[in-house]
A and B are shown apart, each in its own frame.
Chain A
Amino acid sequence: MNYPIVSLLALLLCLSGCAVTEKHSATQPAPAATSSAVGYDFANVPLQKENDPFQALNRTVFSFNDEVNTHALRPLAHGYTLVVPRPVRSGITNFFDNLQFPVRFVNSVLQGKLTRSAQETGKFVINSTAGIGGLIRVSDYVLSLANVPAEDFGLTLGVWGIPPGPYLVMPVLGPSDCRDLVGFAGDYVISPLNWHTLGFIHHAFISNAANLALSGVRYLNALPHSIEVYDQMKSGAVDPYIAVRNAYLSYRAAQLKK
Chain B
Amino acid sequence: MHIDLFRCVPKSSLMLLILGAARLSGAASADDPAAMLRSSIDEALSVAYSGHGNQNLPARVRPLLDKTFAFDLVTRQAMGPGWRQFSAADQRRIIDLFSELMIRTYSSRVVGTQRPKITLGAPVELAPDRREIPTRVTTPSSNEPISVVYRLIKLSTGWRIYDVLIEGVSFVANYRAQFDEIIQKGGAPAVIRTLEAKLAATTDSHT
Interface residues of A (CB under 8 A from B): 24, 26-30, 33-34, 36-38, 40, 42-45, 47-48, 50, 86, 90, 93-94, 97, 137, 147, 225, 228, 232, 235-239, 242-243, 245-247, 250-251, 253-255, 257
Contacts and interface: CB of A to CB of B under 8 A. Distances in A.
A48 B122 contact: no
Given A24-B121, A34-B126, A253-B168, A225 B142 contact: yes
B168 A27 contact: no
B16 interface: no
Contacts of B167: 251, 254
Contacts of A26: 121, 134, 147, 149, 168
B145 A27 contact: no
Contacts of A232: 108-109
B138 to A, nearest CB: 10
Interface in B103-125: 104-105, 108-109, 121-122, 124
Contacts of B108: 232, 235-236
B168 A239 contact: no
A175 B176 CA distance: 20
A48 B80 CA distance: 12
A-B residue pairs, 3 tightest by C-beta: A254-B168, A236-B105, A239-B178
Nearest to A28: B124
B168 A250 contact: yes
Given A29-B126, A47-B80, A250-B169, A243 B174 contact: yes
Contact of B182 (A24, A38, A147, A238): A238
A257 B172 CA distance: 20
B180 interface: yes
B54 to A, nearest CB: 12
A45 B195 contact: no
A27 B122 contact: yes
B147 to A, nearest CB: 5
A246 B174 contact: yes
Contacts of A24: 121, 134
Interface string B55-80: 00000000000000000010011111
Contacts of A253: 168
Nearest to B162: A42
Contacts of B141: 86, 225, 228
Contacts of B204: none
B176 to A, nearest CB: 6
Nearest to A137: B143
Contacts of B175: 238
A193 to B, nearest CB: 18
A33 B152 CA distance: 12
B25 interface: no
Interface-central residue, A238, A245, A246, by most chain B CB under 10 Å: A238
Given A40-B130, A225-B142, A236-B108, 12 more contacts: A27-B134, A40-B127, A42-B76, A44-B81, A48-B173, A90-B143, A97-B143, A236-B101, A243-B174, A247-B169, A250-B168, A254-B169
A29 B168 contact: no
B140 interface: yes
